[in-house]
Amino acid sequence: MAAKDTDGRTGQVRAITRAVSVMRALSDSPEGLTLSETAQRAGLAASTAHRILTTLESERFVRFDAGTGSWQVGVAAFTVGAAFARTRDVIVMARPYMRRLMETTGETANIFLESGGEIVCMAQVESRHAMRALTRVGGRTKMHWSGAGKAMLAHMRPEHAKRVIEEHGLPRATPRTLTDPDALAEALERARRDGVAVDDEEHAEGLRCIGAAVLTETGAPAAAISVSGPKSRIGDERLSQLRELVARVAGEVTREYGGRPPGS
């Protein structure tokens, strides 16, 4: 009897999942891998890895460098990846995650893009509470005022972040706004370390916002996702819970977008 070519529990085609594991191993190794290295990293027998590699080679998804004896990603993989890059839209991809984030937290979920050194709210899933967030779709905000803006600043190239701060300054919106460059630098370092930034009444008194960046494949910020609501609902204990939720959702959108999550 022929062996099953699918996993009965998941319905996955085993040959395809093995081929994907080979492609992932090669994509993580710019210099290429030998057959034995490919097999080891993909968790396959060498004979299985060789069959997969030669099949992928016939379709130009991988290529063999006879000079080094290594296998590398081929031009067909680039073509497929380029098609994805042409069609990916971070706002469209983020919407179902934003909906889930609002349903889970009960607070308004937002997605922001940078525009001219400020952030613009591009989409929103509103809370069902009568008291909601201040920012509306299309609204512009200084980056250092918001959790989303600080999350993006934290992951920008240092020279880019410095230019934004120099051009826009650090004007005050509330008594809690970070207007001292050293204090802002400390907040951005915490955001890089924790994967999430907080606006604790820095944009509007009585309002808290928790933001995390959606990152590209180079680790640059493509957007930022946040939840926001009144401090009366987002106390310190709940703030800690929301930090974890927002960071997790931003990481999921980053992976969906083809980006590189923090620390990877």
Residue whose pair of structure tokens reads 């910020």 in the numeric block: 221
Confidence of residue 247 (pLDDT cuts 50, 70, 90): very high
Q: What is the DSSP string of 39-56?
A: HHHHT--HHHHHHHHHHH
CA dist., res. 73 & res. 29, Å (int): 9
| b/e map 2-23, b = 16+ CB within 10 Å | eeeeeeeeeeeeeeeebbebbb
Residues ≥6 apart with Cβ < 8 Å to 159: none
Which domains, from first to last, does the chain contain?
14-85 (1.10.10.10), 88-257 (3.30.450.40)
Q: What is the pLDDT of residues 31-53, one digit of tens each?
A: 899 999 999 999 999 999 999 99
CA dist., res. 125 & res. 251, Å (int): 19
Average predicted confidence (pLDDT) for the chain:
88
| Token pair in block for residue 239 | 């703030």
Whole-number pLDDT of residue 5: 56
| Token pair in block for residue 71 | 């296998």
> Which residue type occupies 227?
V
